[in-house]
Structure 1
Amino acid sequence: MNAPLDISMKTDDVLTVELAVFRRQHRDLDEAILALVERGTADQLTVQRLKKQKLRLKDVISRIEDRLTPDIIA
């Protein structure tokens, strides 16, 4: 997840599948963060790292969505 995602050479079908995977990972991270905070078992550093990872996924999701969404000329 640390390497930048190159979406320029991927087909729309591949990107659609990856988008679903990344959205699931994003939801899983959200649930993990919530569970750790509710239980009070996580240190702040762990929660911060998970939140950063979640933000990186959000950026990747946004880039894929932009690529898959056709431009509409108004």
Structure 2
Amino acid sequence: MTIGIGIALLIIGVILSFAFDVKVGWFNLYVVGYTVMGLGFLVLVVGVARAVVRRGKAADATDSTTSDDDAGPAS
């Protein structure tokens, strides 16, 4: 979910920065767009990092289990 939010924020930031040409004296839309893009990139990186860690833990959990064939001869 965080990866999707990060991508959405990146798209919104690009639209705000490059698609609109609104001039307001106290409100700079370019700065807001670049800020939203930066936030989207940060959220995207965090989401990807969490997914990699989560996938690594899931792989470790399946690798650490042993089957009856690997246990050796029964006593």
TM superposition score normalised by structure 1: 0.52
Q: Which has the higher contact order (CA 8 A, sep 6+)?
A: 1
- Mapped to 2, the partners of 1:41 and 1:34 lie a distance apart of 11
> Which runs of 5 or more residues in structure 1 are unaligned?
1-16
1:23 aligns with 2:4: no
The offset of 1:64, in angstroms, is 1.0
Distance 1:53 1:32 in 2: 9
Aligned amino acid, residue 34 of structure 1: F
Tell me the C-alpha RMSD between the 2 structures: 2.3
Task: Give the drift of 1:34.
Answer: 1.2
TM superposition shift of 1:65:
0.3
Instruction: Specify every segment of 5 or more residues in structure 2 that has no aligned partner in the other structure, as ranges.
Output: 57-75
- Cα offset for 1:35? 0.8
Query: 4+ residue runs of structure 1 moved beyond 4 angstroms?
Result: none
Report deviation, 1:46: 2.0
Correspondence for 1:41: 22
Counterpart position of 2:50: 67
TM-score (norm 2): 0.52
Q: Which has the larger radius of gyration?
A: 2
Give the aligned length: 52
- What secondary structure sits across from 2:22 in the alignment? coil
State the secondary structure of the residue aligned to 1:41.
coil
In percent, how many aligned pairs have the same letter?
Answer: 6
